């Protein structure tokens, strides 16, 4: 598939801190994702994962710096930023009165001059992405009428149609059944392996995070408390101390998977 653009880019997050009003929610976050790498940011509810992604995109005010291939994103023209970084949000707001095909085609906007009509290449990219995400049959449906999972795939399709060098995914599988979740993650995995797309995602499903990402960053109360290979970050101790969870971590063929454990009989009411 020829979806991403000019190969992946190195992303560096340097000393990033952010707040809502006076409440600080990210504290001195440092991360680097190599071209073609996939870092999944994990962490309990409210630990700052979405705010981190939104800060990297420049959607949330922050201190510190984000660099793409060494170039700070602050001050980068909007269109240039949109050619480098694409984002699929956790709770997308889809426009009224727009077909699914036209919605996905919005991803081509950064690649054409203002007011220029779509070119054959634009239609080809949109058709290809929609085919890959099983959206072809929904092309003429209003995007507002799609189910939650279909909408989530449409949002990802729009981001991929952007042919970015870096893909930021906020909970890309939240509304998807297991089969579609695997389909989406397999597609992203293929794009990074074949074309070097760089991926920074959040993922609540720790087993999927352990299988697909090559690095995990564990956020807790706005700080990165562990970063490294999935097998080193996903440990029963880390799940107990940062999630308050009982779980066993088992080694799978492609990385660790998490098996949640019921409370012992004596601990249940």
Ligand X SMILES: Nc1ncnc2c1ncn2[C@@H]1O[C@H](COP(=O)(O)OP(=O)(O)OP(=O)(O)O)[C@@H](O)[C@H]1O
Contact residues for ligand X, defined by CB under 6 A:
20, 25, 43, 45-51
Burial status of residue 267 (CB atoms within 10 A of its CB: 0-12, 13-18, 19 or more) = exposed
Nearer to ligand X, 106 or 221 (CB): 221
User: From the CB of 25, what's the least distance to ligand X, in Å?
Assistant: 4
Nearer to ligand X, 25 or 188 (CB): 25
The 3 state secondary structure assigned to the chain is: CCCCCCCCCCEEEEEEEEEECCEEEEEEEEEEECCCCEEEEECCCCCCHHHHHHHHCCCCCEEEEEEECCEECCCCCHHHHHHHEEEECCCCCCCCCCEHHHHHHHHHHHHCCCCCCCCHHHHHHHHHHHHHCCCHHHCCCEHHHCCHHHHHHHHHHHHHHCCCCEEEEECCCCCCCHHHHHHHHHHHHHHHHHHCCEEEEECCCHHHHHHHCCEEEEEECCEEEEEECHHHHCCHHHHHHHHCCCEEEEEECCEEEEEECCCCHHHCC
Nearer to ligand X, 25 or 156 (CB): 25
User: From the CB of 57, what's the least distance to ligand X, in Å?
Assistant: 13
User: From the CB of 52, what's the least distance to ligand X, in Å?
Assistant: 7
User: From the CB of 51, what's the least distance to ligand X, in Å?
Assistant: 3
Nearer to ligand X, 104 or 169 (CB): 169
Nearer to ligand X, 46 or 148 (CB): 46
Nearer to ligand X, 66 or 130 (CB): 66
User: From the CB of 253, what's the least distance to ligand X, in Å?
Assistant: 28
User: From the CB of 105, what's the least distance to ligand X, in Å?
Assistant: 29
């Amino acid at each position: 598939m020829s979806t991403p653009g000019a190969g992946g880019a190195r992303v560096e997050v340097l000393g990033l801190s952010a707040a809502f009003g006076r409440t600080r929610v990210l504290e001195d976050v440092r991360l680097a994702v190599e071209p073609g790498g996939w870092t999944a940011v994990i962490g309990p509810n409210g630990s700052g994962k979405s705010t981190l992604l939104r800060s990297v995109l420049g959607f949330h005010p922050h201190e510190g710096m984000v660099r793409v291939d060494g170039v700070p994103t602050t001050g980068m023209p909007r269109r240039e930023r949109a050619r480098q970084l694409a984002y699929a949000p956790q709770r997308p707001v889809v426009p009224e009165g727009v077909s699914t095909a036209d919605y996905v085609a919005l991803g081509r906007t950064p690649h054409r001059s203002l007011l220029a009509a779509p070119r054959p290449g634009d239609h080809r990219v949109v058709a290809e992405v929609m085919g890959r995400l099983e959206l072809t049959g929904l092309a003429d449906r209003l995007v507002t009428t799609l189910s939650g999972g279909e909408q989530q795939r449409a949002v990802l399709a729009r981001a991929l149609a952007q042919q970015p060098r870096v893909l930021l995914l906020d909970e890309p599988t939240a509304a998807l059944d297991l089969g579609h979740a695997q389909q989406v993650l397999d597609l992203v995995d293929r794009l990074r392996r074949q074309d070097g797309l760089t991926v920074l995602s959040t993922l609540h499903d720790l087993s999927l995070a352990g299988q697909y990402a090559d690095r995990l960053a564990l956020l807790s109360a706005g700080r990165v408390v562990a970063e490294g290979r999935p097998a080193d970050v996903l440990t029963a101790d880390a799940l107990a101390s940062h999630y308050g969870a009982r779980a066993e971590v088992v080694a799978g063929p492609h990385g660790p998977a998490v098996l949640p454990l019921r409370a012992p009989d004596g601990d249940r009411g």
